Amino acid sequence: MRGGKEALNFLRSGRVQEIADTVLETSFLGFLLLLFFSSQAANFALILLGLSWIIRRLSAPSFFPKTPLGKPLLFFFISLSLSALFSETRSHSLQQLASEAPKILVIFFGSLEYLRDQDRFRRLFWATAWVIFVIGADGLLQLVLGQDLIRGAALLRGRVRAHFPSPTFFEYALPLFSFPLLLLEQGGKWWKRAFIGLAALAFALSAAFSGTRSVWIALALILILVALSSRHKVLYLCFLGILILAVAVLPIAKTRHRLSSPRDLVSEQKYQRMLAWQISYRLFLSRPILGRGLDFFVKYKRNAELQRPYLSPSVYERVKASGKGAVFPVYHPHSIYLEVLASQGVIGMAAFLSVLIVLFHSLWRKRRGPPLLFWGTWAALLSFLICGAVGTSFYHLWSYGIFWLLAGMGLALKGENGIGSRGISV
Looking at residue 37, the DSSP 8-state letter turns out to be: T
pLDDT digits (tens, 9 = 90+) for 321-337: 655 455 666 777 888 99
Which one has a higher pLDDT value, 385 or 423? 385
d(CA 131, CA 125): 10
Domain layout of the chain by residue ranges: 1-63, 69-426
**CB-neighbour burial class of residue 80 (10 A; exposed 0-12, middle 13-18, buried 19+):** buried
Q: What does the alpha-carbon distance between residue 265 and residue 186 come to, in Å, rounded to a whole number?
A: 38
Residues above pLDDT 70, as percent of the chain: 75
Most confident by average pLDDT, 37-51, 233-247, 257-271:
37-51
Cα–Cα distance list, 396 to 35, 50, 334, 388, 399 (Å): 11, 19, 12, 12, 5
- For residue 159, pLDDT over 50 is answered with no
Output DSSP code: residue 129: H
pLDDT in tens, 86-140: 888 788 888 888 889 999 999 999 999 999 887 889 899 999 999 999 888 877 7
Decide if pLDDT at 406 tops 80.
yes
Whole-number CA gyration radius for the chain: 22
Taking only the tens place, the pLDDT of each residue in 63-101 is: 888 899 999 999 999 999 999 898 887 888 888 888 899
Q: Does pLDDT of 147 surpass 60?
A: no
Residue 163 has pLDDT above 70, yes or no: no
Weakest-pLDDT range from 44-48, 74-78, 227-231: 227-231
How many Å from the N-terminal Cα to the C-terminal Cα in the chain?
46
pLDDT of residue 130: 92
Please check the confidence at residue 270 and state whether its pLDDT lies above 70.
Answer: no
Q: What is the pTM of this model?
A: 0.85
Q: What is the pLDDT of residue 256?
A: 40
In the predicted model, what is the mean pLDDT of residues 226-234?
75
Residue 325 DSSP one-character state: -
What is the share, in percent, of the chain residues with pLDDT greater than 90? 27
pLDDT tens across 364-386, in order? 988 887 788 888 899 899 989 98
CB 38 within 8 Å of CB 7: no
* Mean pLDDT of the residues in the chain: 78
Residue 162: pLDDT over 60: no
